């Protein structure tokens, strides 16, 4: 949490653990999300993440990792696996 506002430089891969942590951080304290178990191929809506919540998660990743995903990119993404693939494609291209 200490460098949550600093851009993580030199990172070339977002892991499922990173994504899970950021998804948790993007939920409010008055909310409850269950991200235990293997979430890679779960639909985001089944995890409680609608398009706005996914956008909030993507916004945090953009801020922390310097990766931009457009609304159109996000519209085609249904699962954490697809999300990681899209982010990591961009990270690899930028490295």
In the complex, which residues of this chain contact another protein (CB under 8 A)?
Answer: 27-28, 30-34, 43-53, 55-56, 59, 71, 78
- Alpha carbon distance 30, 15 (integer Å): 26
- Alpha carbon distance 74, 57 (integer Å): 11
How far does CA 12 lie from the centroid of its chain?
A: 14
Q: Which is nearer to another protein, 85 or 92 (CB)?
A: 85
Query: Residue 72: CA atoms inside 13 Å, Cβ hemisphere, count?
Result: 0
* Shortest Å distance, C-beta 38 to another protein: 17
* Shortest Å distance, C-beta 85 to another protein: 17
Helices (H), 43-79: 51-65, 71-75
Q: Which is nearer to another protein, 13 or 25 (CB)?
A: 25
Q: Which is nearer to another protein, 13 or 43 (CB)?
A: 43
């Amino acid at each position: 949490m200490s460098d949550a506002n600093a851009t993580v430089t030199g990172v070339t891969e977002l892991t499922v653990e990173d994504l899970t942590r950021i998804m948790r951080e993007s939920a409010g304290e008055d909310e409850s999300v269950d991200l235990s178990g293997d979430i890679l191929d779960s639909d985001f809506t089944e995890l409680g993440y609608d398009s706005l919540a996914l956008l909030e998660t993507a916004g945090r990743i953009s801020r922390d990792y310097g990766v931009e995903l457009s609304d159109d990119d996000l519209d085609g993404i249904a699962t954490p696996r697809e999300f990681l693939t899209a982010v990591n494609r961009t990270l690899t291209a930028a490295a």
